Amino acid sequence: ANSLLSGLPTTIFSVISALAVKHDAINLGQGFPDTEGPADMVDAAARALRDGRNQYPPLAGLPELRGAVARSNARFYGINVDPAREVVVTCGATEAITASLMALVNRGDEVVVFEPLYDTYMPVLELLGAVVRKVRLAPPHWDLPRTELAAAFSPRTKAILLNTPMNPTGKVFTRDELEFIAGLVARHDAYAVCDEVYEHLTFGAVRHVPLMALPGMRGRTIRIGSAGKSFSMTGWKVGYVTAPAALADLVMKAHQLLTFTVAPNLQRAVAMGLDKDAAYFGRLAEGMRSARDWLAEGLERAGFRVLQSDGSYFLVADFSPLGFRGNDVAFCQEMVEKVGVAAIPVSAFYDQDGTDIPGHYVRFAFCKKTGVIASAVQRLQSVR
């Protein structure tokens, strides 16, 4: 059948993971950890199944999880939330993003996005009939192009869709950049949808600042988190939305149409996880920082130019110093076949209808065991 989705290709993450299996390559493509998350959460999920937590939970999520999301907002960011009216549990951040955009966007509304962008953003906005205003961040520093961003806002702007810490760049928006964005959102009486799935994965002294915590933004922001990233269990697909009650209500209506509810045993375990102490979240970030350093150092040794990553599971590397003739897609193809390492071409994070898409950058995931990164680095020394 011919439909709005007919032209949508299979997601690059599945394509590259399949290639990695086919060529028995080390998969530094799709972002998933190769270690288990906290054992006490796995136990809690298993116990909940045996306790008979097996029927539909409430539409908005288990009260215990909504309470934990509210506590987490308060203790990390000083955002005070009514768990009964301002939190919605979703099937991963993926559903939360789609539901939030469904909640806000009417056909013809303008939505501002940053490019490079996560692969679900464009297709969902197109399905909703949004007019997308893309603002490109330029490598190697991905600084905020303030003049261009201001020009992308108009009286028809409904929302900005912001991802920080950012996939694939590893950029963490600074408070100063966020204040600039907040000013534009307020001035245009718009909203912000904030994909903050990597909120607990920032490195060194860099800290995640939620746009929602800035003055004037509390009533205009939908903030999205993911247990997959905060607890290294990407297969669980438990996400959570924090939003002012009027917006949370709309997100809940979208959620009602999309999935209605989320596995109750996993919700119970995630509620327990969110109450973990600061030491847990500190270790999570520190482990990831050390993995980033191993990979960055190995890539530099292999001849790549590695761009700064301050957060997320990812770093971007420029392969042009290697002298490869061909674009990033060809490079990834050759790397998986001949070197046995899989990564994602950064051009996949651009609207394919655009022009001048950068063609010599590759995204590597470092959410892997040290030994796996070491083996990948060893293979990559022969990439030249």
Using the rule CB under 6 A, is 234 a contact of ligand PMP? yes
CA distance 164 to 144: 12
Residue listed under structure tokens 């989705």: 5
Between 167 and 265, CB nearer to ligand PMP: 167
Of residues 11 and 375, the one with the C-beta less far from ligand PMP? 11
Residue among 31 and 37 whose Cβ is closer to ligand GLN:
31
Rounded to 10°, the helix 264-274/39-50 angle is: 140
Closest approach of ligand GLN to the CB of residue 187, in Å: 32
Alpha-carbon span 53 to 263, nearest angstrom:
9
Q: Does 57 bind ligand PMP (CB under 6 A)?
A: no
Q: Which of residues 128-157 bind ligand GLN (CB under 6 A)?
A: none
Least distance to ligand GLN, CB of residue 255, Å? 19
Tokens of 345: 């071409």
Rounded to whole angstroms, how far apart are CA atoms 231 and 37?
5
Which residues inside 22-41 make contact with ligand PMP, applying CB under 6 A? 31
Q: Provide the b/e sequence for 333-372 (b: ≥16 CB within 10 Å).
A: bebbeebbbbbbbbbbbbbeeeeebbbbbbbbbbbbeeeb
Stretch that binds ligand PMP, among 226-234, 284-292, 357-365, 374-382 (CB under 6 A): 226-234
11: partner contacted, choices ligand GLN, ligand PMP, none (Cβ within 5-8 A by kind): ligand GLN
Q: Is 22 exposed, middle or buried (0-12, 13-18, 19+ CB in 10 A)?
A: exposed
Residue 197: Cβ within 10 Å count = 28
- What is the C-alpha to C-alpha distance for residues 82 and 284, in angstroms, rounded to an integer? 28
Kindly state whether residue 122 participates in binding ligand PMP, applying the rule CB under 6 A: no
Closer residue to ligand PMP in complex, CB, 170/228: 228
Give the residue nearest to ligand PMP (CB). 92
> Applying CB under 6 A, which part among 90-98, 132-140, 152-160, 244-252 lies near ligand PMP?
90-98
Q: How far is the CB of 16 from ligand PMP (least distance, A)?
A: 14
Question: CB of residue 230 vs ligand GLN: minimum separation in angstroms?
Answer: 14
Pairing of strands 239-242, 221-226: antiparallel
30 is a contact residue toward ligand GLN (CB under 6 A): yes
Cα dihedral 160/166/167/170 (nearest 10)? 160
Binding status of residue 94 toward ligand PMP by CB under 6 A: yes
Footprint (CB under 6 A) of ligand PMP, residues 136-175 = 163, 167
80: left (phi over 0), alpha (psi -120 to 50) or beta: beta
The answer to whether residue 280 forms part of the interface with ligand GLN (CB under 6 A) is no
The amino acid sitting at 134 is: K
Q: According to CB under 6 A, which one of 157, 163, 167, 347 is a site residue for ligand GLN?
A: 167
Query: Judged by CB under 6 A, which of 29, 37, 239, 273 binds ligand PMP?
Result: 239
Residues 177-196 that bind ligand PMP (CB under 6 A): 195
CA 283 to chain CA centroid, Å, is 20
Binding at 30: pick from ligand GLN, ligand PMP, none (beta carbon under 5-8 Å per type):
ligand GLN
Only segment of 87-95, 272-280, 294-302, 340-348 that touches ligand PMP (CB under 6 A)? 87-95
User: According to the binding rule CB under 6 A, does residue 18 interact with ligand GLN?
Assistant: no
Asked if 11 interacts with ligand GLN (CB under 6 A), we say yes
**Cα 240–Cα 8–Cα 307 angle in degrees, nearest 5:** 65
CA–CA dist 303, 25 (Å, integer)? 20
Q: HEC states along 110-149?
A: EEEEEECCCCCHHHHHHHCCCEEEEEECECCCCECCHHHH
Phi–psi pair at 349, nearest 5 degrees: -95, 20
CB of 53 to ligand GLN, least distance (A): 27
The site that binds ligand PMP (CB under 6 A) totals a number of residues, namely: 14
Query: Tokens representing 213?
Result: 């915590």
The listed partner (ligand PMP, ligand GLN, none) that binds 208, CB under 5 to 8 Å by sort, is none
Which residues would be at the binding site for ligand PMP (CB under 6 A)?
Answer: 31, 92-94, 118, 163, 167, 195, 197, 226, 228, 234, 237, 239
Which residues would be at the binding site for ligand GLN (CB under 6 A)?
Answer: 11, 13, 30-31, 167
